[in-house]
């Protein structure tokens, strides 16, 4: 064999070896890839469904941090509060975000557990082109009932008020507002413009200089397309939410079923929301961690009395109590429970009715059974 042929044979053998090595390396890489993928997908996943305002303001970043910490994954399905609650009830979602507590009219919600997570605020919003910057509680009350219909009555232009709301009365933001104003989260109101969720509502208000609606402060305070209106001269902020001076502060909840199929991972996620890193994240977004404002729970009766006083509800309660004969304390209590269940006068009426019933029972003569 001459040298030329020998070199060609050697080159061929080296090429075959290199191809075999490359093929082996490629095979090893392919085998390793599924393992890496499996490792990444090994994190337990929970499905969160709730309102878009909460998702945009906070939950998206919370879910990202949860996964970065390798605690699990959160699949977000933002739409609105009621869809989230129904999805948890049906089992198509593991956890819901809710801007309201359970609604007494929905018996199916009794199987849910509402975990208070943070404080936000309900804020009236309009277009930045609207000159009105403040509204009173009484004006809000009358606007939603359709009694105040022109911006001129609020110190603005001579133009019709275009009131916007989310369609479902049991949606979180709408329910919480109506509960504060009317003591009934499902109070019937006069709203001609209804939207499927808060995101669509905000988009509509941004382009309508005569619009007004309600959203969450954390969702809108950094949005230049929307203008937050103060209430009774008080603007929503982290400070005014924490000290309770802004009257329309509200709780946001995580909601789950204790008998849910993914309950262990849900509990882990709920516990994570009370950790120090998450609390710091809430504060960065202008939100108030639930544990940061224990006074808000303790002072709920004071807040209710403040709102009722500005609405004139306390005056009605006091007048009703004064006009009702003392011989009818039970009827008085029943009326006040229906009309102003959280007012201090209602509790006094309930206590008075209970005392009268006890006195009547004690004074009633014992009867001797007939033989």
pLDDT at site 346: 56
* Helix ranges (DSSP H) in 70-152: 81-90, 137-144
Q: Which domains does the chain have, with CATH numbers?
A: 46-300 (3.40.190.290), 312-362 (no CATH)
pLDDT of 37? 46
| Distance of alpha carbon 327 from alpha carbon 86, whole angstroms | 46
Closest residue by Cα to residue 293 from 118, 42, 95, 36? 118
Query: Tokens at residue 242, please?
Result: 């924490």
Please answer whether residues 112 and 85 qualify as being in contact, where contact means their C-beta atoms are separated by less than 8 angstroms.
yes
pLDDT tens over the chain, length 371 residues: 555 545 454 444 444 444 445 455 555 555 555 544 444 458 899 999 988 777 777 788 899 999 999 999 999 998 888 899 999 999 999 999 999 999 999 999 999 999 999 999 999 999 999 999 999 999 999 999 999 999 999 999 999 999 999 987 788 899 999 999 999 999 999 998 898 888 899 999 999 999 999 999 988 888 999 999 999 999 999 999 999 999 999 999 999 998 988 999 999 999 999 999 999 988 988 889 999 999 999 999 999 999 999 998 654 444 444 444 444 555 555 544 544 454 445 555 565 565 555 555 555 554 444 44
Closest by Cα among 127, 310, 88, 273 to 210: 127
DSSP helix, strand, coil percent of the chain (3-state; round to 5): 50, 20, 30
**Alpha-carbon distance 193 to 228, whole Å?**
19
């Amino acid at each position: 064999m001459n040298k030329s042929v020998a070199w060609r044979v050697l080159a061929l053998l080296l090429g075959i070896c290199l191809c075999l090595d490359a093929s082996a390396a490629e095979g090893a890489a392919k085998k390793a890839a599924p393992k890496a993928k499996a490792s990444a997908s090994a994190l337990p996943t929970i499905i969160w469904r709730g309102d878009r305002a909460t998702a945009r303001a906070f939950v998206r970043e919370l879910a990202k941090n949860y996964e970065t910490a390798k605690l699990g994954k959160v699949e977000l399905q933002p739409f609105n509060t009621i869809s989230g609650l129904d999805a948890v009830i049906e089992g198509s979602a593991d956890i819901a975000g809710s801007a309201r507590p359970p609604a007494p009219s929905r018996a199916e919600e009794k199987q849910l557990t509402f975990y208070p997570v943070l404080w936000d605020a309900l804020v009236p919003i309009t277009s930045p082109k609207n000159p009105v910057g403040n509204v009173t509680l009484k004006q809000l009350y009358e606007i939603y009932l359709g009694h105040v219909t022109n911006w001129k009555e609020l110190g603005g232009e001579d133009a019709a008020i275009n009131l916007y709301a989310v369609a479902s009365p049991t949606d979180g933001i709408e329910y919480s507002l109506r509960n504060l104003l009317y003591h009934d989260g499902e109070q019937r109101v006069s709203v001609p413009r209804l939207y499927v969720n808060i995101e669509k509502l905000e988009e509509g208000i941004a382009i309508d200089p005569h619009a007004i609606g309600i959203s969450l402060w954390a969702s809108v305070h950094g949005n230049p397309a929307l203008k937050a209106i103060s209430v009774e001269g008080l603007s929503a902020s982290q400070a005014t939410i924490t000290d309770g001076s802004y009257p329309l502060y509200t709780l946001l909840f995580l909601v789950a079923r204790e008998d849910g199929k993914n309950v262990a991972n849900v509990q882990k996620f709920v516990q994570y929301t009370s950790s120090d890193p998450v609390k710091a994240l809430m504060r960065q977004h202008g939100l108030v961690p639930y544990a940061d404002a224990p006074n808000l729970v303790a002072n709920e009766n004071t807040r209710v009395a403040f709102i009722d006083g500005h609405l004139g509800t306390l005056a009605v309660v006091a007048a009703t109590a004064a006009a009702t004969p003392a011989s009818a304390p039970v009827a008085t209590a029943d009326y006040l429970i229906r009309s102003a269940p959280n007012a201090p006068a209602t509790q006094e009426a309930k206590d008075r009715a209970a005392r009268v019933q006890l006195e009547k029972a004690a004074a009633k003569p014992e009867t001797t059974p007939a033989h």
